[in-house]
Amino acid sequence: MLIDAASWNRVSKLFDQFATLTPAQRQQQLADLELDAATSTWLQKLLAAHDSSDTRLLDQTLNQMAADLIGAQHADAGEIPAQISGQLLGHWRVGDAIARGAMAAVFHGERADGAYEQHVAIKLLQPGPYRHSESEQLREELRLLARLEHPGIARLIDGGISTQGWPYLVMEYVDGVHIDQWCAEQKLDRRQRLQLLLKVCDAVRYAHSKLVVHADLKPSNVLVNRDGEPKLVDFGIASLLREHQRDHQDSHADVQTGLLLRCTPAYAAPEQLRGEPVSTSNDVFGLGALLYELLTGARIRDGRTVTALLLGQDPDASIIMPSQRQHTLLPAGELRGDLDAICRCALAADPQQRYRAVDPLRQDLLNHLQHYPVSARTPAKSYLLSRWLYRHRLGAAAASAVMISLLAGLTVSIRQTELANANARRAQAVQTFLLDIFDAADPVANQQNPVLVNDLLRQQQEKLRMSTTTEPLLQQELRRTLASLQNNLGNHADALNIYQNLLAELPADASPEQRADLHNLIAGQYERLGQLQTALEHAETATELVPLADKVSDTSVQALRTLASIHSELRDNETATDSLEQALQYRDAILALDNGKALLGSLLADLSEKYGMLGDTDKALTTLAEARQWYAQIYPEMHPEQAQTDAREAGIQRAAGDFSQAAAASLRAARKSRQLFGAMHTQSLRDETALAVDLAYLKCYDKAVAIYQQTVARYRELFGENNLLYANALLNLASMRRKLDDHTAALEDINNTLSIYARHGEQATDMQAYALSIKAQLLFALDDSQQALQINTEALDLMRATVGEHHPQYLRVMVSQGHLAARLQQWELAEQHLRTAYDGLLQALGPESTFTRDAAIKLAQVYQSSSDETALQALLTKTGLNHDDLATAQASTENPQPRSQCSLPEPFDLSEFALTSS
């Protein structure tokens, strides 16, 4: 039976009034009042309790109960004695005390069996409610903590429960002083303090990637050794204690009192004080509190606030910003602006308003030190999980660890989201699920037999599908996560499969937004798979479900972007441009959304691309510049979105034929991506591929080959040899080698590529067709025209099935087909192919196109060779070609021009991308 505060307010006034009255008086007065049922019920109950002659608990004294409770704990472990020097705990011998607190004592310690010499710190915790059966569980958690191996974290070496019942932890001994003391002793200035804190951030970030939260960050838990290196102690101990405590609560949820002992009220995040489950967001707050103290010399909460907290009062009491304090260590001028904003964002009472992870906080500190704008100065807004994932799909640099970091980002974010929903059970389920992935993916554990990302994800997908215990909502979230991973890794068929199932399982009463969101995601996957008509249908469904005209929302804008992108793929850039321009009419409404600036920037960037394809380069570049202005307001220069903008600029310049500019922009994009994601990331590899394409246009084939060789090697390392991205990279390398006349090597690459495509079935049909057409060219160059013709026929058949008979790409392969037939003197077949191809190209690209012209010339040559003067004359009249044109073409086939020189603009430093030259 619960009552809300407002009703209580009413009821309590009436109770005070009625309590002193006699039953008769009450009856009478009650009749005059018209009370609602709930108020009346409560009032009656309270009065009945008030009148009751039963013994009330509160009327007894506590004395007997206290005696019962405290005396009953015979079996309970005793307190830790002051001196236990010499005692054995597992393999360890306890030495002198280092420090004693109310809840724990720390001692020097050493290896008891003399197996090796090791000086450690042993932390004994006040006996908690541990029983023997639980020691295994405790050990399990300790193993999790022992996984933390980072120079900034004091390592957990061992632990368990002693025979006396004391839980103990054996940790690396750190000979150092508290970070605040260090800063004071060394008289560190602002920069030095921030740099020290950045190291702390790195350690915390690392721990989060291993699913461990510190939950009690404060100066006394950050020790700085003589070399000035900070080390975090007591990692995860706070949450370890809390987990166990929670297990014992049964139905008695403990809201505030239990927690006060487990964290330090002066530093704890408000939600931590409210008793919500531990989350990474607690540590963001803790880092904010550390920052604050290092800047001001004062704690975020003063004595009176903490007293209020201890008394269970409002923990959200606002924190005085550093520059507003009367006494600070640093001049207020240095604190105003950036540092105030960073503190405010890290210490926000609402976790939603806080930095979402350690990384953005760390980035802001870096930005501040490097004089870049900090993101905290524009207010943090809440994003959907998927958007968040989008930004954090990216990991770190370590080669073999790329998938770990990919997963880690996700892991932390999911766990955090779950915890933010105060759903501890779901968080637990997610953690278990993701830990499984970790264990399977751990490159150290699996050195003999490294698991490939793809296999891993499929395993998890299967596991999820089979699992009946996971809650439906959680299942969906995990599956979406997997799909987004699959997408990032280029496994679009897998991603599509997941999204389709999610759509099919959507309940009948799902909102149009939910439905549209999934249709939009499905459309995106079909688009990437090259099945454009199906993609179009889904994108149209999505936009019809959430018309922009009805409501401007993230979903409606994203759906429209997808639709435009598909139209563009279908070579209908006019329609694409139209819909994007229409969307821009809602500029104000878009800007009012949480991620309005980002959305508007993306719309403009999309639009600029379309202008580029329509040949309006100036307009494209102006629009892109506008997009950049919006991005500049929300993203630092080193941001994935900024890298993508550079890549788009390259695309526009490439379409305009300015390959030097394109290459320069591609180089910028590739540099950013590499710095942001590391070399072993698909985004970096994509950008480097684009750079190689531009270099090829600049005829710098050898440089392009050098880059492709690297991308090929990296894709192989990441995904193994049976992967489509690897195959595509190999195909690029092959076509580049062909340009360098290295036909044999190219053919070998192509054959490898084709066997991979063949294993992927329909998913790879379009790429397969393209590869076959290149293979035909190679065979032709190697003088095997017969086989070339055969292969080219295969290519044609496949292409007809995928892109259709009117697609320029198909028609160009058909030109090759005709050319090959002519080489084999199959005049009739040659004429037939070239005629069809010419007519088609004329219609698709117009008479001016080089491709149309090329088809016409080849057709004319066939008429010449087969001495069909009438047809030749008719063709020449129609095309405006003359005999000289034909002669020139003939000459250039017979005596190919020497390869042109690479025309790389200077200075153009590629050293970081093409280290190995072929």
Partner 1 sequence: MATAVRLAASIPADNRDMLEQFPELYSTLRHIARRERRRNPSDTMNTTVVVNEAWLKLKHSSMQWQDEQHYLATAALAMRQLLVDYARRSAATKRTRVDDCPLFNNDCELNKTSSSILALDQALQQLEQLEPRLTRLVELRFFAGLTLPESARCLGISPRTANREWSRARAFIQTAMQS
Residues within window 10-69 making contact with partner 1, judged by CB under 8 A: 12, 15-16, 19, 42, 45-47, 49-50, 52, 56-59, 61-69
Q: Which of 132, 187, 226, 252 lies at the binding interface for partner 1 (CB under 8 A)?
A: 252
Binding flag, residue 75, partner 1 (CB under 8 A): yes
Measured from the CB atom, is 297 or 720 closer to partner 1? Answer: 297
Neighbours of 59 (CB within 10 A): 7
Burial class, 687, CB count within 10 angstroms (exposed 0-12 / middle 13-18 / buried 19+): buried
Q: Residue 171 forms beta bridges with which residues? A: 121, 156
Measured from the CB atom, is 311 or 466 closer to partner 1? Answer: 311
- Of residues 564-623, which lie at the interface with partner 1 (CB under 8 A)? none
Q: How far apart are CA 418 and CA 425, in angstroms?
A: 9
CA-based R_g, the chain, Å: 35
Dihedral sign of CA atoms 405, 411, 414, 415 in order: negative
Q: How far apart are CA 771 and CA 747, in angstroms?
A: 10
Q: Which of 27, 73, 825, 892 lies at the binding interface for partner 1 (CB under 8 A)?
A: 73
- Of residues 626-665, which lie at the interface with partner 1 (CB under 8 A)? none
Which tokens go with 811? 């028609």
Least separation in angstroms between CB 18 and partner 1? 11
Measured from the CB atom, is 135 or 382 closer to partner 1? Answer: 135
Binding flag, residue 265, partner 1 (CB under 8 A): yes
Shortest CA distance to 457 belongs to which of 416, 501, 407, 531?
407
Q: Which of 38, 98, 266, 422 lies at the binding interface for partner 1 (CB under 8 A)?
A: 266
Helix 850-865 with 808-823: angle, nearest 10 deg: 20
Measured from the CB atom, is 314 or 439 closer to partner 1? Answer: 314
Site string for partner 1, 308-347 (x = CB under 8 A): x-xxxxx---------------------------------
Binding flag, residue 2, partner 1 (CB under 8 A): yes
Q: Which of 32, 36, 96, 250 lies at the binding interface for partner 1 (CB under 8 A)?
A: 250
Measured from the CB atom, is 259 or 856 closer to partner 1? Answer: 259
Is residue 803 within 8 Å of residue 531, measured between CB atoms?
no
Q: Which of 299, 519, 628, 737 lies at the binding interface for partner 1 (CB under 8 A)?
A: 299
Binding flag, residue 304, partner 1 (CB under 8 A): yes
Binding flag, residue 303, partner 1 (CB under 8 A): yes
Peptide bond before 230: cis, by omega within 30 degrees of 0? Answer: no
- Of residues 127-146, which lie at the interface with partner 1 (CB under 8 A)? 129, 131
User: Which range touches partner 1 (CB under 8 A), out of 89-97, 185-193, 261-269, 693-701?
Assistant: 261-269
Site string for partner 1, 163-192 (x = CB under 8 A): ------------------------------
Measured from the CB atom, is 25 or 917 closer to partner 1? Answer: 25
Q: How far apart are CA 457 and CA 495, in angstroms?
A: 11
Least separation in angstroms between CB 330 and partner 1? 18
Least separation in angstroms between CB 109 and partner 1? 23
Identity at 866, one-letter amino acid code: S
Neighbours of 95 (CB within 10 A): 18
Least separation in angstroms between CB 272 and partner 1? 15
HEC readout, 696-760: HHCCCHHHHHHHHHHHHHHHHHHHCCCCHHHHHHHHHHHHHHHHCCCHHHHHHHHHHHHHHHHHH
Least separation in angstroms between CB 181 and partner 1? 13
CA angle centred on 204, ends 203 and 205, rounded to 5°: 90
Which tokens go with 406? 């990919």
Q: Which of 94, 269, 287, 306 lies at the binding interface for partner 1 (CB under 8 A)?
A: 306
Q: How far apart are CA 542 and CA 534, in angstroms?
A: 13
Q: How far apart are CA 596 and CA 587, in angstroms?
A: 9
Least separation in angstroms between CB 343 and partner 1? 18
SS3 call for 803: coil
- Of residues 78-117, which lie at the interface with partner 1 (CB under 8 A)? 79, 101-103
Site string for partner 1, 526-565 (x = CB under 8 A): ----------------------------------------
Least separation in angstroms between CB 165 and partner 1? 12
